[in-house]
Amino acid sequence: MTTTTPSKILIVEDEILAAENIAKHLRKQGYEVSGIVPSGEEAIARSTELRPNLVLMDISLQGSIDGITAADRIGHQLQIPVVYLTAYTDSKTLDRAKSTNPYGYLVKPFKFENLRVSIEVALQKYRDEVVKEQRFAEQLEDSQAELNQLKRLQEEHRSIAEGLSQALKNQEFSLYYQPRVNLRTDRIVSAEALLRWHRPQHGTVLPATFIAISEANGLIDPIGEWVLRAACDQLQAFQESGLKNLSISVNLSGSQLKLPHLHVQVERILQDTQIDPRFIELELTESTLIEDMDWTVKQLHALKSLGVNVAIDDFGTGSSSMLLLHHFPFDTLKLARCFITNIDCSPKDITIASSIISLAHKLDIKVVAEGVETQAERDCLQQLGCDEIQGFLISPPIPAAQFLNQISS
């Protein structure tokens, strides 16, 4: 059984008989009467002390604080709803009373029925307002939290951008290498160069944190040039260590692809490092390729004419995969990790992968599966005729020295 606590009402009325009458009636109706006070001063003092749920306030009270002033303080400072009890009043007084935003008026003499209705309407209005205010406060809190989060992100973004602007000069970048294994020979045939930023006081930072920011700040072009040169230098060192047939793939960003002199830059790096271009593959993701197809195709032909290979990265994650295959003769297609994870348990992914592999082979394109983590995934891809795999099953991306150790062992 639920019991509701009765609403507490304070009566402010200097006609003591009338007040007693109201109190008696209220008690009969199940209200708790917090008290009867005859002046504005006492009304404020009692309301502060007893915190009633509602105050019935006679407008015309004797003393230095009249009913309207008392109601104003009780309403605004104590947030207690006030219902005025008023006899005939002039319009000036009524305007003053209105300006205190009361929860109701009862014109004396009133029927007790109306008293109850006025009290209940006022209490309900007050409860609705409290709920509304709470909701508003919650929304405000949520917006504040979102704003703070946004500020934190902005600050982090700014700090990363500032750090990045010095990173090249301070030699804070390095390349890690992740092997690619040929599924027919079971040998490492290639490595993908993946950028790492050794940010002071932050440790090693992954590209997901900083590539987009470096693109937005125009820093990706010099960084990308550094990556290609560092990868070619490293390939030369690998070749000198005996890895004569190893290829290296390098990721290019969309912003690099927009550079009109990109092929000149690539050609110069190849010449400077004396690298045979057929050992270099440039990886481009679908999303960067479709921005301006005519320009992209021109750029890709210019790059390919240098003798390097061109790969389409994360194949299948964009919406224009087929369009890209139609427009450009890619050498390699890297099947996105989302089709590879648990492929052995997913007939749907098997169908997708096998269709892509057969389509690619008909177009004379090599297929590399990305993100292979389990032997079961590898076995499945081998059965489907996939050419190469890359993923944690073979090795995560590792520094060059470690890569050399691994390949030699």
Judged by the rule CB under 6 A, the positions of this chain that interact with ligand C2E are: 178, 194-195, 206-208, 211, 224, 227, 251-253, 283, 285, 313-314, 370-373, 391-392, 397
**C-beta of 116 vs 337, nearer to ligand C2E:** 337
> Which option in ligand C2E, Mg ion, none does residue 324 bind, with CB closer than 5 to 8 A by kind?
none
Pick from Mg ion, ligand C2E, none: which does 194 bind, CB < 5 to 8 A by kind?
A: ligand C2E
Q: Considering only 73-81, 144-152, 219-227, 251-259, which stretch makes contact with Mg ion by CB under 5 A?
A: 251-259
The yes or no reply on residue 395 touching Mg ion (CB under 5 A) is no
- Strand runs labelled E in 252-296: 280-285
Task: Tell which one of 72, 283, 377, 387 touches Mg ion (CB under 5 A).
Answer: 283
Dist CA 141 CA 146 (whole Å):
9
Cβ at position 327, least distance to ligand C2E in Å:
21
Do 80 and 52 touch, CB atoms closer than 8 A? yes
Kindly state the smallest distance separating residue 274's Cβ from Mg ion, in Å.
25
Which residues neighbour 154 within 8 Å (Cβ) at sequence distance 6 or greater?
none
195 is in the binding site of which of ligand C2E, Mg ion, none (Cβ under 5 to 8 A by kind)?
Answer: ligand C2E
Torsion of CA 287, 291, 297, 302, to 10 degrees: -90
Comparing CB distances to ligand C2E, the nearer of 242 and 396 is 396
Is residue 251 a contact point for Mg ion (CB under 5 A)?
yes
Taking the complex as a whole, the smallest distance from the CB of residue 148 to ligand C2E amounts, in Å, to 28
CB of 206: closest distance to ligand C2E in angstroms?
A: 4
Characterise 314 by phi-psi region: left (phi > 0), alpha (psi -120 to 50), beta (else).
left
**CA gap 61, 37 in Å, rounded:** 10
Rounded Cα distance, 195 and 214, in Å: 13
Task: List binders of Mg ion among 285-324 (CB under 5 A).
Answer: 313-314
Q: Which is nearer to ligand C2E, 44 or 289 (CB)?
A: 289
CB closer to ligand C2E, 11 vs 223: 223
What are the backbone angles phi and psi of residue 45, rounded to the nearest 5°? -60, -45
Which one of the spans 25-33, 60-68, 250-258, 287-295 is the region binding Mg ion (CB under 5 A)? 250-258
Which tokens is 186 given?
Answer: 């079971």
**What sign does the CA torsion over 147, 150, 154, 155 have?**
positive
Nearest to 200 by CA among 234, 154, 169, 223: 169
Please state the length of the chain: 409
Give min distance, CB of 382 to ligand C2E, in A: 16
**267 versus 281: smaller Cβ distance to Mg ion:** 281
Residue type, 5: T
Strand pairing report for 280-285 and 309-315: parallel
In sequence order, which ranges of 7-111 are alpha helices (DSSP H)? 16-28, 40-50, 67-78, 91-98
371 binds, among ligand C2E, Mg ion, none (CB under 5 to 8 A by kind): ligand C2E
Q: What's the closest the beta carbon of residue 197 comes to ligand C2E, in angstroms?
A: 10
Minimum distance between the CB of residue 157 and ligand C2E, rounded to whole angstroms?
A: 17
User: At its nearest, how many Å lie between ligand C2E and the CB of residue 142?
Assistant: 33
Between 100 and 309, whose beta carbon lies closer to Mg ion? Answer: 309
At its nearest, how many Å lie between ligand C2E and the CB of residue 259? 12
Q: Which is nearer to Mg ion, 227 or 270 (CB)?
A: 227
Q: Which does 81 bind (CB under 5 to 8 A by kind): Mg ion, ligand C2E, none?
A: none
Nearer to Mg ion by C-beta: 69 or 299? Answer: 299
Measured between alpha carbons, how far is 320 from 314 in angstroms, rounded to an integer?
12
Contacts 24+ apart (CB under 8 A), 390-394: 390/178, 390/179, 390/180, 390/181, 390/192, 390/334, 391/337, 391/340, 394/178, 394/179, 394/180, 394/181, 394/188
Sign of torsion, CA 354 357 361 366? negative
Whose Cβ is closer to Mg ion: residue 11's or residue 389's? 389
Footprint of Mg ion on this chain (CB under 5 A)?
Answer: 251, 283, 313-314, 370
